[in-house]
């Protein structure tokens, strides 16, 4: 089906969530997805890694409105890839089991795809919240909003400014990118953005579409040094020497800032 024909039919969006022992936040995450309304169909797929903390019991309460598969996997990427293999949506995204969509996020995304039938992906804005859901690290959010205000692949090769929970793409583009890599522990989303950038420029949505949660058990909290090191590795595969030099500077800068923020929080 060509893109003009797609624009004239009711589109379906597939949201995938991978979870393992996510009882603390999974209900809030699920409700942020299922509460979305708009001129689209919603398919919600949860891939559970055989949780033992009551997560599945919570998910089962919503079983008539979503699809759940509980099966052991080797990594979050494997679970997300498996979820997208099941997906029948025209538009895809994933939402981590501790993150949230803003109200009307999916409707805003779909409207932008309808207005831009030649574009294959988009990113929006994302706030950062803590365990209790309070907004934190507002300066980090402002910084990412500024450098991502206009899309530039040159800037993306020097620093990852794209917010994963606020990013959506057409299924055709996902198939071209051939799944998430399982090589990385923390930066697999950055590689996906760089793969996507080879095929299409994204739509930039200057609205808040999601909330990203930082807490003591999150990858971004515990593995931020690994994340930024991996992003530098990935950038070297796609960029030129000048991109790599700037990226290394940005890595040192960001790691130093995060360490300082952690020190201030602890003291």
User: Residue 86: CB partners within 8 Å, gap ≥ 6?
Assistant: 45, 67, 69
Q: Which two tokens stand for residue 125?
A: 């804005």
Question: Helices 224-238 & 241-266, crossing angle to 10 degrees?
Answer: 170
Q: Give the pLDDT of residue 29.
A: 98
Whether 7 shows a pLDDT value over 60: the answer reads: no
Q: Give the pLDDT of residue 123.
A: 98
What is the Cα–Cα distance from 136 to 145, expressed in whole angstroms? 15
Domains and CATH numbers, the chain: 3-266 (3.90.550.10)
What does the mean pLDDT of the chain come to?
A: 93
Mean pLDDT of 188-200: 97
Whether 162 shows a pLDDT value over 90: the answer reads: yes
Mean pLDDT of 124-129: 97
With 0.85 as the threshold, say if the pTM is over it. yes
Whether 194 shows a pLDDT value over 90: the answer reads: yes
Residue 266's pLDDT band (boundaries 50, 70, 90)? confident
Candidate from 63-67, 97-101, 122-126, 226-230 with smallest mean pLDDT = 226-230
Per-residue pLDDT of 18-70, as tens digits, reads 999 999 999 999 999 999 999 999 999 999 999 999 999 999 999 999 999 99
Q: Give the pLDDT of residue 44.
A: 98
Q: Give the pLDDT of residue 2.
A: 55
Q: Give the pLDDT of residue 221.
A: 60
What is the Cα–Cα distance from 18 to 169, expressed in whole angstroms? 18
Percentage of the residues of the chain whose pLDDT score is greater than 70:
95
Residue in this structure with the two tokens 């759940």, named with its chain if needed: 68
Q: Give the pLDDT of residue 175.
A: 97
Whether 190 shows a pLDDT value over 60: the answer reads: yes
Indicate the DSSP class of residue 179.
S
Candidate from 35-39, 71-75, 130-134, 262-266 with smallest mean pLDDT = 262-266
Helices (H), 116-170: 138-147, 153-158
Per-residue pLDDT of 208-249, as tens digits, reads 999 999 877 655 566 789 999 999 999 999 999 999 999 999
Query: H or E element: which one contains 43?
Result: strand 41-48
User: Residue 64: CB partners within 8 Å, gap ≥ 6?
Assistant: none
Q: Give the pLDDT of residue 220.
A: 55
């Amino acid at each position: 089906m060509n893109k003009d024909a797609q624009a004239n039919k009711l589109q379906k969006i597939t949201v995938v969530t991978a979870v393992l022992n996510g009882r603390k936040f999974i209900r809030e995450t699920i409700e942020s997805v299922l509460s979305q309304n708009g001129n689209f169909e919603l398919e919600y797929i949860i891939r559970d890694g055989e949780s033992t903390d009551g997560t599945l019991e919570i998910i089962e309460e919503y079983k008539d409105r979503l699809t759940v598969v509980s099966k052991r996997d080797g990594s979050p990427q494997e679970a997300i890839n498996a979820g997208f293999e099941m997906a029948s949506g025209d538009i895809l995204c994933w939402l981590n089991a501790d993150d949230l969509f803003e109200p009307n996020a999916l409707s805003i995304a779909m409207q932008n795809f309808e207005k831009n039938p030649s574009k294959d992906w988009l990113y929006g804005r994302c706030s950062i919240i803590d365990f209790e859901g309070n907004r934190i690290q507002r300066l980090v959010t402002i910084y990412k909003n500024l450098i991502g205000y206009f899309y530039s692949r040159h800037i993306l090769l020097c620093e990852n400014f794209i917010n994963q929970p606020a990013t959506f793409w057409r299924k055709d583009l996902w198939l071209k990118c051939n799944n998430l890599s399982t090589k990385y522990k923390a930066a697999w989303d950055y590689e996906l953005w760089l793969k996507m950038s080879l095929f299409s420029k994204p739509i930039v949505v200057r609205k808040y579409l999601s909330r990203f949660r930082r807490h003591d058990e999150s990858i971004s909290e515990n593995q931020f040094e690994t994340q930024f090191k991996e992003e530098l590795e990935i950038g070297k595969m796609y960029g030129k020497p000048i991109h790599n030099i700037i990226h290394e500077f940005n890595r040192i800068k960001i790691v130093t800032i995060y360490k300082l923020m952690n020190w201030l929080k602890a003291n």
